[in-house]
């Protein structure tokens, strides 16, 4: 489990740093369980609404992101409600908020 925690923490730290290097603001708004935890990305489109992306794996085992709140931007209240429902089901989730008007992401992975 320590290896999984280290990988998660390294991934989260690398994501926050990559955002900063690309001129985006990124904040860990919820820390997950120390032994495990999936990641949700709350995208703040800075006046254009919000999206929540859920970390998933493809059938081949590759990292992908599912638009949990659908294809269109939603209000912050809708994004927060989605996150709250996910936390109720999986209390060890990590949540990172990324602010970028254009909705850019600092990492690779298929967007579903």
**What does the pLDDT read at residue 34?**
64
**What does the pLDDT read at residue 6?**
53
Domains of the chain: 2-111 (3.40.1530.20)
Buried b (16+ CB within 10 A) or exposed e, 70-107: eeebbeeeebbebbeebeeeeeebbbbbbebeeeebbe
Confidence bin at 1 (pLDDT 50/70/90): very low
**What does the pLDDT read at residue 10?**
79
**What does the pLDDT read at residue 88?**
95
Please give the residue that has the higher pLDDT: either 102 or 107: 102
**What does the pLDDT read at residue 75?**
98
**What does the pLDDT read at residue 112?**
84
Per-residue pLDDT tens digits for 26-85: 999 998 876 667 889 999 999 999 999 998 888 998 888 999 999 999 999 999 999 999
Return all residues near 107 (Cβ < 8 A) that are at least 6 apart: 15, 18
Please give the residue that has the higher pLDDT: either 10 or 34: 10
Indicate whether 5 pLDDT > 60: no
Q: What is the pTM of this model?
A: 0.85
């Amino acid at each position: 489990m320590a290896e999984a925690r280290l990988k998660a923490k390294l991934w989260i730290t690398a994501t926050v740093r990559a955002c900063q290097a690309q001129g985006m603001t990124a904040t860990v708004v919820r820390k997950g369980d120390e032994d495990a935890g999936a990641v949700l990305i709350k995208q703040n489109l800075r006046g254009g609404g919000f999206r929540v992306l859920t970390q998933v794996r493809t059938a081949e085992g590759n990292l992908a992101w599912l638009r949990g709140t659908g294809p269109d931007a939603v209000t912050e209240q809708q994004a927060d409600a989605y996150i709250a429902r996910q936390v109720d089901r999986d209390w060890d989730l990590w949540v990172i908020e990324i602010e970028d008007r254009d909705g850019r992401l600092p990492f690779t992975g298929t967007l579903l």
